[in-house]
């Protein structure tokens, strides 16, 4: 079992570090379907994979100036607020209706991402416009794109919309028990108009912080299967380190398409859960 879990975890870490979604999307179904782990045990291993993905990719992304720590911590506040609201509303709102609504929204956003897959590769014809709030909160920055061989400057747009999106993501996570990596990337990329590589790198950082806060609950309940989680941690660290080294050399449009395909799969699953 350990060898199979290790191999799948390498793939999970590689994909998670490239797309900013963590490895849980791959690890959890594999453990629950193939090795018949109960969902609490699989979710605990999924959290381990998220922490390992974040740890394995964080240093490389910070070194390449792809991770924007201030934006990450700013949106982390929205996630926490949403998570608290989700817990409060869990006995009031219908999880099926919310799942259906968000599934449709995700499906729509996936097609937007494919449509705008080349947006990061277009040279800017005018100087960067920094909004008043982006300037006050210092939500802007730059990084050197190794493919285009030029510095790309960016500034967060529609800050209120991004914060609201992350609040809704936290609510949905609290209601449905799902991770919010996909919503983090959407908030950063589609709403706040950050370069896709910055979005995925910052999402990786944010997910690690969130998962660290959650793993203690599973540990206290005895849901950690130590040998499997150990294999997951090591495998994901290896995969995420490889992904972090390769990501600067992969065109953003290919990353966008790959993320959109995962988004379509997730949206279909959410719509299915909402209907049945």
d(CA 183, CA 168): 9
Q: Mean pLDDT, to the nearest integer, of 14-26?
A: 84
| Confidence tier at 243 by pLDDT (50, 70, 90) | very high
- The closest of 155, 162, 196 to 21, measured between CA atoms, is 196
> What is the pLDDT of the chain when averaged over all its residues?
84
Tell me what pLDDT residue 179 has: 58
Which helix (H) or strand (E) segment holds residue 153: the answer is strand 150-155
- 182 close to 50: Cβ distance less than 8 angstroms: no
Cβ–Cβ contacts within 10 Å for residue 269, how many? Answer: 14
- 232 close to 215: Cβ distance less than 8 angstroms: no
Tell me what pLDDT residue 173 has: 67
Cβ–Cβ contacts within 10 Å for residue 10, how many? Answer: 20
Diameter of the chain by CA atoms?
A: 56
Tokens of 153: 């400057």
Tell me what pLDDT residue 205 has: 86
Q: Mean pLDDT, to the nearest integer, of 99-106?
A: 78
Tell me what pLDDT residue 186 has: 85
- 139 close to 74: Cβ distance less than 8 angstroms: yes
Q: Mean pLDDT, to the nearest integer, of 137-151?
A: 90
- 236 close to 28: Cβ distance less than 8 angstroms: no
Q: Phi first, then psi: what are they for 104, rounded to 5°?
A: -65, -40
Residue 217 or 95, more confident: 217
Residue 32 or 199, more confident: 199
Tell me what pLDDT residue 68 has: 93
Q: At what angle do helices 24-34 and 2-19 cross, to 10 degrees?
A: 150
pLDDT at 114 over 80: no
Q: Mean pLDDT, to the nearest integer, of 188-201?
A: 91
Tell me what pLDDT residue 91 has: 64
CA distances from 181 to 46, 173, 255 (A): 12, 10, 15
pLDDT at 204 over 80: yes
| Confidence tier at 11 by pLDDT (50, 70, 90) | very high
- 50 close to 214: Cβ distance less than 8 angstroms: no
- 228 close to 37: Cβ distance less than 8 angstroms: yes
- 166 close to 43: Cβ distance less than 8 angstroms: no
pLDDT at 120 over 70: no
Q: pLDDT by residue (tens digit) across 53-95?
A: 888 887 789 888 899 999 999 998 888 888 778 767 766 767 6
pLDDT at 228 over 60: yes
Alpha-helical regions (H) of 141-195: 159-176, 181-186
Percent of the chain with pLDDT over 70: 90
Tokens of 6: 């290790």
CB burial of residue 194 (10 Å; 0-12, 13-18, 19+): buried
Tokens of 141: 């920055």
d(CA 141, CA 68): 8
Tell me what pLDDT residue 109 has: 77
d(CA 97, CA 38): 25
| Confidence tier at 178 by pLDDT (50, 70, 90) | low
Tell me what pLDDT residue 237 has: 92
Three-class DSSP category at 35: coil
Return the DSSP state at 120: G
């Amino acid at each position: 079992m350990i060898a199979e879990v290790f191999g799948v975890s390498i793939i999970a870490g590689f994909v998670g570090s490239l797309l900013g979604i963590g490895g849980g999307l791959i690890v959890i179904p594999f453990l629950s379907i193939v090795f018949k782990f109960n969902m609490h045990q699989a979710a605990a291993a999924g959290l381990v994979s998220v922490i390992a993905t974040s740890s394995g990719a964080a240093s490389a992304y910070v070194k390449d100036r792809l991770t924007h720590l201030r934006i990450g911590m700013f949106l982390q506040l929205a996630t926490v607020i949403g998570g608290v609201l989700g817990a409060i509303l869990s006995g009031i709102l219908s999880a099926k209706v919310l799942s259906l609504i968000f599934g449709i929204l995700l499906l729509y956003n996936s097609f937007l991402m494919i449509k705008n897959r080349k947006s990061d590769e277009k040279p800017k014809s005018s100087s960067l416009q920094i909004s008043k709030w982006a300037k006050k909160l210092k939500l802007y920055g730059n990084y050197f794109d190794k493919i285009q061989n030029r510095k790309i400057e960016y500034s967060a747009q529609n800050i209120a919309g991004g914060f609201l999106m992350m609040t809704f993501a936290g609510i949905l996570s609290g209601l449905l028990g799902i991770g919010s990596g996909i919503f983090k990337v959407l908030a950063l990329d589609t709403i706040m108009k950050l370069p896709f590589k910055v979005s995925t790198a910052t999402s990786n950082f944010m997910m690690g912080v969130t998962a660290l806060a959650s793993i203690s609950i599973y540990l206290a309940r005895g849901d950690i299967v130590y040998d499997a989680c150990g294999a997951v941690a090591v495998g994901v660290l290896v995969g995420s380190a490889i992904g972090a080294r390769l990501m600067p050399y992969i065109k953003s449009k290919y990353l966008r398409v790959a993320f959109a395909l995962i988004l379509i799969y997730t949206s279909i699953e959410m719509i299915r859960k909402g209907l049945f």
